[in-house]
Amino acid sequence: MNNRTAIHFRAMNTDVEAILIHNSDAQSPGNAEDNSEAGEYAAFVKQWFLDMENRLSRFRANSELSQLNRSAGSWQLVSPLLFQILAEANKYRMLTGGLFNVHMLKALEAAGYNQTFEHIGHIQAYPIISSCPATSDTLLEMNAGMKAVRLQRGAEVDLGGIAKSWSARKLADWLRRKRGVQAGMINAGGDAAVWDVRSDSTPAELRIQNPWDPGRAEAVISLRNGGVATSSTLGRSWSRPDGSSCHHILDPRTLRPSRSDVVQCTITGPDVTACEVWAKAVCIAGLEEGTALLATYAPEYAGFMYTADRTLRKHEASSDRKGKEGIGDD
């Protein structure tokens, strides 16, 4: 018999939702005060995200990430978990030509995003002072053998969205592989990992909301296994004291809020972390450059982009990887 467990809570500065389809006799994920299987799954999922927040949040002074930022200029031993996320983030920084970049903390704070968004009151903006461009290769050195990293003096890391998508993906993989959960969705603030190993089920349907009319969905994604993520310049936005508008998607090339023609981008494909990366990169690059990057470096990913003229544009996925394999060829 299949049981359905639905879980909702708040962690990592966002709303987290989990839907799990599991056998009633499946191995429970761990001990919990609630002896019911659903209660154990709920407690485990919530604890996982709270642990990730405690380790990876820039808003937690004692998090491992905050300790790393305070160590800038010196080599620091880090956990395998943090090393893996940093390595993945660095891979995507290079793949996107620096459009995806976790070295934007100083610019975010300068723009006024220096506390969790729901607690932002009066924005205190100040000039951005940077001794090195955010796209520089020298901001982060990594030693895989030692699991050690060194930030350039003055550099800081904000894992932001990649921490949410990475946490969702890791939890989904663990529940499927280690606990035999047949189907489910882990959704962390719009970054959703979906899986379904059942042969007789229909794919999940995820609706893309119109950013100007959230009650209206103009596209539906059918997904059995993979991920979906959305980035938007309209969500976490605020007004600065000078009256100018600001949002949390900053262009690493300018250290200023992105002003491209793409105001919301949803990406779907095999890996939710890659979806998060490309959604942000397309928002920054704009429609023409962003879809060209997808076609070249992520052909298996599809995109749904709302542009500033309130039009929904679609980019189809392709299994043709010739463009990616031919990089650097004459």
**pLDDT (0 to 100) of residue 28:** 59
Any domain includes 8: no
- Among the listed residues 199, 131, 164, 142, the one whose alpha carbon sits nearest the alpha carbon of residue 53: 164
- Note the pLDDT of residue 3: 87
**Can you give the pLDDT at residue 240?**
57
pLDDT at position 241: 55
Q: In 3-state terms, what secondary structure has residue 165?
A: helix
Residue 201 lies in a domain: no
Task: Classify residue 94: in a domain, yes or no.
Answer: no
Residue 319: what pLDDT?
A: 65
Asked whether residue 153 is domain-assigned, the answer is: yes
Domain for residue 290, yes or no?
Answer: no
Residues of the chain with pLDDT under 50: 31-35, 114-133, 238, 321-330
Does 193 fall in a domain? no
Residue ranges making up the domain that contains 153 = 63-83+102-158
Number of compact structural domains in the chain: 1
Look at residue 174 in the predicted model and tell me its pLDDT.
96
In sequence order, which residues have a C-beta less than 8 Å from that of residue 46 and are 6 or more positions away?
7, 9, 11, 16
Per-residue pLDDT, 163: 94
State the Cα–Cα distance between residues 301 and 18, nearest whole angstrom: 23
What would the DSSP string read from start to end of 44-87? Answer: HHHHHHHHHHHHH-TT-TTSHHHHHHHTTTSEEE--HHHHHHHH
| Structure tokens given for 139 | 């901001």
Q: Which helix (H) or strand (E) holds 151?
A: strand 148-151
What per-residue confidence (pLDDT) applies to 320? Answer: 55
- With respect to residue 132, please indicate whether it lies within any of the assigned structural domains: yes
Q: What pLDDT is attached to residue 160?
A: 81
- Predicted confidence at residue 277, as pLDDT, reads 96
pTM: 0.83
> Is residue 214 in a domain?
no
191: three-class secondary structure by DSSP: strand
